[in-house]
A and B are shown apart, each in its own frame.
Chain A
């Protein structure tokens, strides 16, 4: 489903954040991307939804090469990928329902479909009863659930998360992880950059360790494997 072939990324400032990455991820996998700060985890993830373009090499998602994908096709790629961030990226003047619906409105889904889908995903993340509340009235964990709901509302086959639990306390992090597990159980591929050793070591999945822009380890059911 996803294939990176000899991917090399050099930022304009000269920093090499990917230095020849080869990797293959199959539909339905759950993948942790681990590594120290500045290792190139975010770059790895950004290249998968074409926030960044590889300097050389190819990235194939379902046969589409992101390295050569035209800018005006990027929106259609993004409609097939859900993205979740550490800082939630919610719109403060929209309530929970509207924040999730926003993802469907901008791709001009019909109101009927929007209503149905939004209620479904809010149910899944357990926030149906808070649909009318605003982000500032929610806890961090709840906000992250809203953003997860938004990322899956258009039923993507792939969800990418960059340190989704980075801002959350341990207990809340577990709740969030349970939601990702649930989404993965329904067949969605999940790629998650994380610093959370506890989680990686407990909810065992494939672990890709990145260091200096290189994959140093790639293990199914592996451990977090770094100190501190």
Chain B
């Protein structure tokens, strides 16, 4: 395809965007709503994932050793824990260390226990895959000389199941919206095609190829997608900038988890929004052009 032909197609597609005022407005609005939701959804999901990652890194399995276990069986237990599949690392913390930790939290009043330490020796283990923490803990619990095995106590499972549920709900919602937007775009394009039926008929008679006929309509769909992406990109950027500015100092204090940095995250989200806009635009027009172009 030659340069001036491409120029001609661009002009044609832009002309018809402005000519179909209301349909353009309707489909651009649909794309806007869809992409805005996509943007907000991706923003939330990516950050929740980040939070989950941050929290996961702190998930430990606490293996409390039987009081009756002697030096030899403690060493043996350590070896056994290391051998359990899915265990990443094991750290031994004798009961003296445990008491010191307690004293850090509750003060020196506990010093009197130094003579008669009631605490257990403890192993801290981490799972290779944090999502498997529960299963790994279960296996460790079966070993000899373990008094009790503790981990996140269901909080982790809840977080993961929340993440999965909201991801699924979001995806279904977005798919429904994507189809609505594509439907509206393909209707808009159809109106253009009907309006240019005679052009198409004559184009075919004088030997224009199908691609030559198709391209202006596909470009038009692409414009609709791009126009629909403008508002979502702006809003998502402003929104994330402000959320980040307000929340980040507070989260930094809490030291538990952080939001994703403004850049490059926001560029990735915006890139995705634009890409999806272009894709639904092109796909929507493709669907209606296909029907009209059968020779």
CA distance A17 to B202 in the complex (A): 24
**B-chain residues with CB within 8 Å of residue A71 when the two chains form the complex:** 295
Determine, out of A20-28, A74-82, A184-192, A213-221, the stretch whose residues face the partner at the interface. Answer: A74-82
**A-chain residues with CB within 8 Å of residue B206 when the two chains form the complex:** 78-79, 102-103, 106-107, 150, 154
**B-chain residues with CB within 8 Å of residue A74 when the two chains form the complex:** 295
Q: Known contacts being A75-B208, A78-B206, is A108 close to B5, with CB within 8 Å? A: yes
- Please tell me if the beta carbons of B209 and A75 are within 8 angstroms of each other in the complex: yes
Q: Which of A76, A106, A107 counts the most chain B CB atoms within 10 A?
A: A106
- Please tell me if the beta carbons of A107 and B208 are within 8 angstroms of each other in the complex: yes
Q: Closest chain A residue to B212 by CB distance?
A: A106
Q: B8, B198, B204, B209: which contacts A105 (Cβ < 8 A)?
A: B8
Q: B1, B4, B207: which contacts A75 (Cβ < 8 A)?
A: B207
CA distance A74 to B209 in the complex (A): 8
- Count, chain B residues at interface, CB 8 A: 19
- Please tell me if the beta carbons of A75 and B204 are within 8 angstroms of each other in the complex: yes
CA distance A103 to B8 in the complex (A): 14
**A-chain residues with CB within 8 Å of residue B203 when the two chains form the complex:** 102, 106
Q: Which of B242-270 contact A (CB under 8 A)?
A: none
Q: Known contacts being A71-B295, A108-B1, A108-B2, is A91 close to B207, with CB within 8 Å? A: no
Q: A-facing mask of B191-218, CB < 8 A → 1, else 0?
A: 0000000110111111111101000000
CB distance from A83 to the nearest CB of B (A): 5
**A-chain residues with CB within 8 Å of residue B209 when the two chains form the complex:** 72, 75
**B-chain residues with CB within 8 Å of residue A170 when the two chains form the complex:** none
Q: Which of A79-95 contact B (CB under 8 A)?
A: 79, 83, 89, 91
Q: Known contacts being A74-B295, A108-B1, A108-B5, is A79 close to B207, with CB within 8 Å? A: yes
Q: A76, A89, A108: which contacts B205 (Cβ < 8 A)?
A: A89
Q: Known contacts being A71-B295, A74-B295, A111-B4, is A102 close to B202, with CB within 8 Å? A: yes
Q: B1, B5, B198, B210: which contacts A72 (Cβ < 8 A)?
A: B210
Binding site for A on B (CB under 8 A): 1-2, 4-5, 8, 198-199, 201-210, 212, 295
Q: List 28 A-B contacts (CB under 8 A).
A: A71-B295, A74-B295, A75-B204, A75-B207, A75-B208, A75-B209, A75-B210, A76-B207, A77-B207, A78-B205, A78-B207, A79-B206, A79-B207, A89-B198, A89-B205, A91-B198, A102-B203, A103-B202, A106-B203, A106-B206, A106-B208, A107-B206, A107-B207, A108-B1, A108-B5, A150-B206, A154-B206, A154-B207
Minimum-distance CB pairs A-B, first 3: A79-B207, A106-B208, A78-B207
Binding site for B on A (CB under 8 A): 49, 71-72, 74-79, 83, 89, 91, 102-103, 105-108, 111, 150, 154
